[in-house]
Structure 1
Amino acid sequence: MWEKVREEFILTKNYLNNAAYTPLPLRTIEAIRDFFYEYSKYGPDSDNYYSEILDKVNKVRKDLSSLLDCEDKEVIFTEGATQSINFIAHMLPLKKGDEIVVRDSLQEHPSNYLPWLHLEKVKGIKLKRVKVDKYGYPDLQDIEKAITFKTKALVITHALYNLGSIMPVKEIGKLAKEKGILFIIDGAQTLGCLPLSVKDINCDFFIFTASKWICGPLGLGGFYCNKKVGEEILPFCLGDMAVIKYSSTKYLYRDMPFKLQEGFRNWGLVIALRESLNLIKSLGINNIRERNKKLVKLLREELKGLKGIKFYGPEEEEKRVSILSFTIKGLDTENLVKYLFNKGIVVAKRRLFRKSIVRVSPHFYNSEEEIKSLIKFLKENGKGIWQ
Structure 2
Amino acid sequence: MNIKQVRKDTPGAGEVIHFNNAGASLPTKFVNNAIKKWLDEEEMTGGYEMESKYESEIMGLYAEIAKLIHCSKDEIAITDNASTAFSKALYAIPFKAEDEIITSEIEYSSNYLNYLKLKKDKGIKLTLIPTDEEGPVDVEALKKAINKKTKLIAITHMPTSSGAIAPVKEIGKIAKQNNIIYMVDTCQSIGHYPTFVDEIQCDFLNGTSRKYLRGPRGLGFLYARRSIYEKLDPYMLEAMGAEWNGRDNYDLNYTSKMFECFEKPVGFMMGLKAAIHYANELTIEHIWTRIDELASYARERWSRIKGVQLHDGNGKELSGIITLTLKDQSPQKVQELLSKHGINSSLCKPFTSYTDMKNKGLASSNRLSLHYYNTLEEIERVADKLQNIR
Question: TM above 0.5, one fold?
Answer: yes
Paired residue for 2:378?
370
Tell me how far apart the structure 2 counterparts of residues 135 and 218 of structure 1 sit (CA, whole Å): 34
Matches within 5 A, 1:82-231: 82-104=83-105, 107-133=106-132, 137-231=136-230
SS at 1:252 equivalent? strand
Tell me how far apart the structure 1 counterparts of residues 121 and 243 of structure 2 sit (CA, whole Å): 32
Q: Given residue 97 of structure 1, which amino acid in structure 2 is its aligned partner? A: E
Tell me how far apart the structure 1 counterparts of residues 290 and 76 of structure 2 sit (CA, whole Å): 28
Q: Which moved more, 1:234-243 or 1:290-299?
A: 234-243
Tell me how far apart the structure 2 counterparts of residues 53 and 96 of structure 1 sit (CA, whole Å): 47
Paired residue for 1:345?
343
Percent identity of paired positions between Structure 1 and Structure 2? 28
Displacement after TM superposition at 1:131 (Å): 2.3
Q: Given residue 92 of structure 1, which amino acid in structure 2 is its aligned partner? A: I
Paired residue for 2:46?
43
Paired residue for 1:320?
318
Structure 2 CA distance for partners of 1:264 and 1:230, relative to 1, 3 Å: farther
SS at 1:27 equivalent? helix
- Count matched residues: 377
Tell me how far apart the structure 2 counterparts of residues 40 and 237 of structure 1 sit (CA, whole Å): 32
The alignment status of 1:263 with 2:266, answered yes or no, reads: no
State the Cα deviation string for residues 277-329 of structure 1 (Å, max 9, x = none): 1211221211111111121122222222211221122577x612111221122
Q: Given residue 71 of structure 2, which amino acid in structure 1 is its aligned partner? A: C
Displacement after TM superposition at 1:50 (Å): 2.7
Residue segments in structure 1 that go unaligned for 5+ positions in a row: none
Displacement after TM superposition at 1:134 (Å): 7.5
Tell me how far apart the structure 1 counterparts of residues 250 and 44 of structure 2 sit (CA, whole Å): 35
Paired residue for 2:331?
333
Paired residue for 1:20?
23
Tell me how far apart the structure 1 counterparts of residues 338 and 160 of structure 2 sit (CA, whole Å): 20
Matches within 5 A, 1:64-75: 64-75=65-76
Q: Which moved more, 1:5-14 or 1:127-136?
A: 127-136
Structure 2 CA distance for partners of 1:98 and 1:27, relative to 1, 3 Å: same
CA contact (8 A) 1:99 1:127 kept: yes
Tell me how far apart the structure 1 counterparts of residues 7 and 323 of structure 2 sit (CA, whole Å): 24
State the Cα deviation string for residues 100-158 of structure 1 (Å, max 9, x = none): 11113xx3210221111111111221111222248862222221222221110011111
State the Cα deviation string for residues 153-181 of structure 1 (Å, max 9, x = none): 01111112211211111111111111111
TM-score (norm 1): 0.92
SS at 2:338 equivalent? helix
Paired residue for 2:80?
79
CA contact (8 A) 1:85 1:111 kept: no
Q: Which moved more, 1:123-132 or 1:234-243?
A: 234-243
Tell me how far apart the structure 1 counterparts of residues 7 and 71 of structure 2 sit (CA, whole Å): 30
Q: Given residue 55 of structure 2, which amino acid in structure 1 is its aligned partner? A: L
Paired residue for 1:243?
242
Q: Given residue 90 of structure 2, which amino acid in structure 1 is its aligned partner? A: A
Paired residue for 2:299?
300
Q: Which moved more, 1:258-267 or 1:33-42?
A: 258-267
Structure 2 CA distance for partners of 1:120 and 1:264, relative to 1, 3 Å: farther
CA contact (8 A) 1:241 1:259 kept: yes
Displacement after TM superposition at 1:262 (Å): 3.4
SS at 1:335 equivalent? helix
Paired residue for 1:360?
368
Displacement after TM superposition at 1:59 (Å): 0.9
CA contact (8 A) 1:231 1:256 kept: no
SS at 1:177 equivalent? helix
SS at 1:319 equivalent? coil
CA contact (8 A) 1:109 1:161 kept: yes
SS at 1:22 equivalent? coil
Paired residue for 1:289?
288
Tell me how far apart the structure 2 counterparts of residues 52 and 361 of structure 1 sit (CA, whole Å): 39
Q: Which moved more, 1:227-236 or 1:334-343?
A: 227-236
CA contact (8 A) 2:135 2:167 kept: no
Structure 2 CA distance for partners of 1:53 and 1:251, relative to 1, 3 Å: farther
CA contact (8 A) 1:163 1:325 kept: yes
Q: Given residue 341 of structure 1, which amino acid in structure 2 is its aligned partner? A: S
Tell me how far apart the structure 1 counterparts of residues 187 and 160 of structure 2 sit (CA, whole Å): 9
Structure 2 CA distance for partners of 1:217 and 1:160, relative to 1, 3 Å: same
Residue segments in structure 2 that go unaligned for 5+ positions in a row: 350-356
Structure 2 CA distance for partners of 1:264 and 1:153, relative to 1, 3 Å: farther
Q: Given residue 69 of structure 1, which amino acid in structure 2 is its aligned partner? A: H
